[in-house]
Homo-oligomer: A and B are copies of this chain.
């Protein structure tokens, strides 16, 4: 009965707890505001220091000073209830955010993240717009072998509808030193002559700084292969070579590493860079590498550079090329790289993964290059 009229001990305790909790939460809210205000004040001082140092030509980041501040905090202050580890974590977050606001201009300055890097209509490789509305096909054999071979393939590619670029290797970075290393200079000449005869743009791989000039002389676009994505000296050199660059992702590179490799090229003054996903090395061996299609929209969120997909090297087999090509276009790729050969059974390298010309015609006939790719990303994507 009594319990109807006044709260029992249990209820009273609960009420008391609730009001205490409310009071404590109000205190927390106030402390949050004070903390934010002090943090912002600290941020303004950090920016002033950075500006003064920049004027003196000193790099902003000072690991030693950071460590000294931490040591000072850890020595002087009462370390309760947050202990050294937590204090370190919290202040590291503040330091990191301070670097972030300093780096924001740095990152703004990083060309690879600039939204206006590529014109709406793409940039030209010879006369082919890459990164525009229509996906581009990069077609050709693994290696330049003979003038007849390249002429047959170039003639075939020239007759196809849509945008396409002739691709073949003259310098080959082979794993085994005793296998075919490419026709080198002779291959470049064969490629150039066939391309000119059939009115095609040409992309071919450059292996090192020593042979860069001769490759740049013959090619319309320079390919950096997956095995050279970390070759910073070569990246710097192609950045200065004045030709568009096709940069392939190393097969164990994170996307950040790929973007930073691109920045090496852009930093040299060359904005005409195409990124190429070509499969990553995983435990799965049903395909030669694992095709990483989510890389395409992830890259496109970060950069305006065109992103294409090399299906032949990723898959290493032809039988699932068609659905994977449709998927690559559907995920938003700006182009596809696919190996075609007039005589795959006689190819000096990678014969098993190259289409013959008839197969490729059938394949292309079933691929709706324009329809498959919606022009607008549905959400999130900042890629224009």
Contacts and interface: CB of A to CB of B under 8 A. Distances in A.
A3 interface: no
Interface residues of A, number: 144
Given A233-B211, A283-B282, A324 B38 contact: no
Given A291-B293, A323-B330, A346-B63, A232 B177 contact: yes
A285 B52 contact: no
A230 interface: yes
24 contacts: A25-B49, A28-B49, A35-B35, A47-B81, A110-B178, A173-B232, A177-B263, A208-B208, A209-B210, A210-B210, A227-B230, A254-B286, A255-B286, A282-B290, A286-B294, A293-B324, A298-B320, A318-B379, A322-B379, A323-B332, A326-B374, A330-B372, A362-B378, A366-B376
B378 A322 contact: yes
Count of chain copies: 4
Contacts of A69: 28-29, 32
Interface in A237-271: 250-252, 254-257, 260-261, 263-264, 267
A14 B298 contact: no
Contact of A297 (B32, B261, B267, B324): B324
B285 A40 contact: no
A372 B378 CA distance: 14
The 6 closest A-B pairs by CB, nearest first: A322-B378, A93-B93, A252-B252, A319-B380, A227-B230, A330-B330
A217 interface: no
Nearest to A345: B67
Interface of A: 14, 17, 20-21, 24-25, 27-29, 31-49, 52-53, 55-56, 63-65, 67, 69, 72-73, 76-78, 80-83, 85-87, 89-94, 96-97, 100-101, 106, 110, 173-178, 181, 207-211, 227-228, 230-234, 236, 250-252, 254-257, 260-261, 263-264, 267, 280-287, 290-298, 301, 314-315, 318-324, 326-332, 345-347, 351, 359, 362-363, 366-367, 372, 374, 376-381
